[in-house]
Structure 1
Amino acid sequence: MGSNTDEVDDLSERHENLSPADRVVVSYPEDLSDWGRFQVEKDAFVAYLRKTKTDRVRQGDVWEEFVGVGCCGSTLDVPLRVEDIQGGETFGPETEVEWSVREACGIEGGWQVQSQGGPNEV
C-alpha cells in the first residue's frame, strides 16, 4: 500500500511543530446569556482552550464548545469563532485570548435555574 499524505499532513499540523500565537481573538454570538459569557471568559475556560486547541488555528475556524451543564442535565454548547490570530499558528501557554461579540445565531440552552429564565436571557 502507498502512503497516506492526508494523514501525514494532519500530523504535521500538531502543536509541537507550530509556533504559539501571541494573541488570538475569539468571538461568541451576541445572544449568549450573561451566564454563558461568564463561563466562556473565565480563566479556566481560556486555559482549556490553550491546552486543547493544539492544531493550527486559522481565522474563521469555528468550534462548538461545551461550557456547562444545567440542573437537569441539559448542556450549553457555544459556537466560538477565531476572528484573528497574531504572531503564531496555534494556542500556547502564554497566548493572550481576547473576546469579541459577533452577530446572534439563535443559540439556545435548556435550563431555567442558572440564568433567570434561561440561557438566552441577558
Structure 2
Amino acid sequence: MTPETPKSSTMIEDPSDAARDAFAERVVVSYPADLSEWGRFQVEKPSFRAFLRKTRDTAEAGDIWEEFVGVGCCGNTLDVPLRVEAVEGGSRIVDDTEIEYDVRDACGIQGSWRVQSKGGPSHG
C-alpha cells in the first residue's frame, strides 16, 4: 500500500469490536428477591458460576439469561431469569471473570419447590 492509497474499511478497527473482545473482569448478575432459599443456594454455588462462565460468551448490562437451575424431587424444573446489572472491563466472559450476585425486585417466580422450600418457593 502506498502513502496515497486509502486504507480499506476492513483494516480499520471499530472501537466497539475492541470493547467486545476485551475480557470482562467482573459481571454482576441479579436474581429476583422471591427466588427460594434453595434456588439461591443453587445459583450461588461455585459450580453454577463456572457453568455461566463456560456457557456465556459475552455479557452486557440489561441482558436477561433464563437459566435452568435444577429439577426437584417433585419433578418440576426451576428456570431463573438472571439479569446482567453491570460489567467491568470488556464484554467477553472468560474463566477468570468474577461472577457476583445481587438481588432485584420480586417477579412472581414460582417453581413448586415444596420439598426444598417449606411452604413453597417464596416461603423458604
Q: TM-score, normalised by structure 1?
A: 0.81
- 2:56 is aligned, of 34, 53, 56, to 53
Secondary structure of 1:90 counterpart: coil
Alpha-carbon distance between aligned partners in 2 of 1:29 and 1:111, rounded to the nearest angstrom: 16
Amino acid at match of 1:32: L
Alpha-carbon distance between aligned partners in 1 of 2:27 and 2:113, rounded to the nearest angstrom: 31
* Residues 82-101 of structure 1 aligned to structure 2 (within 5 Å): 82-101=84-103
Amino acid at match of 1:115: S
Unaligned runs of 5+ in 1: 1-12
For the Cα contact (< 8 Å) 1:109–1:120, is it kept in 2? no
Unaligned runs of 5+ in 2: 1-16
Secondary structure of 1:99 counterpart: strand
Alpha-carbon distance between aligned partners in 2 of 1:70 and 1:98, rounded to the nearest angstrom: 25
Q: Please list the CA deviations of residues 18-42 of structure 1 after superposition, one character each: whole Å capped at 9, or x if unmatched.
A: 2220000000000001111110001
The corresponding residue for 2:26 is: 23
Q: TM-score, normalised by structure 2?
A: 0.80
For the Cα contact (< 8 Å) 2:21–2:91, is it kept in 1? yes
CA shift, 1:68, in A, is: 1.0
For the Cα contact (< 8 Å) 2:74–2:115, is it kept in 1? no
- 1:35 is aligned, of 35, 38, 61, to 38
The corresponding residue for 1:9 is: none
Runs of 4+ with >3 A deviation: none
For the Cα contact (< 8 Å) 1:24–1:95, is it kept in 2? yes
Secondary structure of 1:37 counterpart: helix
Alpha-carbon distance between aligned partners in 2 of 1:41 and 1:23, rounded to the nearest angstrom: 15
What CA RMSD, in Å, does the superposition of the two structures yield over aligned residues?
A: 1.5
Question: Once the two structures are aligned, what percentage of the paired residues are identical?
Answer: 62
Amino acid at match of 1:107: I
